[in-house]
């Protein structure tokens, strides 16, 4: 199951009521638009998701998948971006649940969306643990990233945020495969 990436978030830049001011608000707004299950919305409504709520929602999605004919195996947990996530696999058991087919993938995705997608997204992108981790990572890696970008000749304003620096580094890497500041500073493996 892939993480739902949300880009309609960030700091409030004079937003209107239709524009979310935070990652959490973006997830909740998308869940409302998707008209997800009542249990999932109940978890999201208070603007916070705990690990127990995340695990409960994921287990409801797994049960839905099992009822639909999928084999779901939960092998434990992993640490990812400062938080604990379930490690699991899903396999089809019939021609209707064959994940090599669009019908099988749609069937599995329907359970995930109905029961857990937005709780999962909130937990992995906007929970207090993730926000604190992101702040620690930015504080630790920003000087290294600025130094790497300067060495690569990138033009970066002194007031650029860490997120801005990451975007510059990603653009640089896509243009010039030899400059990988993100990899060089250990962004994806940093575990502080």
Record the pTM. 0.76
pLDDT at 17: 39
Task: Please enumerate, as own/partner, the contacts of 59-67 that have beta carbons within 8 Å and a separation of 24 or more.
Answer: 60/115, 60/116, 61/111, 61/112, 61/114, 61/115, 61/116, 61/117, 62/88, 64/111, 64/114, 64/115, 65/90, 65/108, 65/111, 65/112
pLDDT at 90: 97
Q: How many residues comprise the chain?
A: 192
pLDDT at 94: 93
pLDDT at 155: 87
pLDDT at 14: 35
pLDDT at 11: 31
pLDDT at 78: 94
Is the dihedral angle over the CA atoms 170, 10, 3, 35 positive or is it negative?
A: negative
Low pLDDT (below 70) residues in the chain = 1-21
């Amino acid at each position: 199951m892939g993480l739902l990436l949300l880009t309609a978030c960030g700091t409030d830049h004079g937003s209107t009521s239709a524009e979310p001011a935070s990652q959490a608000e973006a997830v909740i707004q998308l869940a409302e638009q998707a008209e997800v299950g009542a249990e999932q919305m109940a978890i999201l409504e208070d603007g916070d998701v705990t690990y127990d709520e995340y695990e409960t929602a994921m287990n409801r999605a797994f049960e839905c998948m099992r009822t639909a004919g999928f084999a779901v195996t939960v092998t434990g947990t992993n640490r990812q971006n400062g938080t604990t996530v379930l490690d699991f696999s899903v396999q089809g058991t019939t021609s209707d649940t064959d994940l090599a087919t669009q019908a099988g993938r749609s069937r599995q995705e329907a359970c995930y969306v109905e029961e857990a997608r937005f709780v999962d997204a909130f937990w992995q992108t906007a929970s207090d643990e993730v926000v604190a981790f992101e702040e620690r990572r930015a504080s630790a890696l920003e000087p290294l990233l600025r130094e790497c970008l300067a060495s690569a000749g990138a033009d970066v304003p002194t007031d650029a945020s860490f997120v801005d620096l990451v975007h510059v580094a990603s653009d640089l890497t896509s243009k010039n495969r030899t400059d990988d500041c993100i990899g060089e500073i250990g962004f994806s493996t940093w575990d502080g």
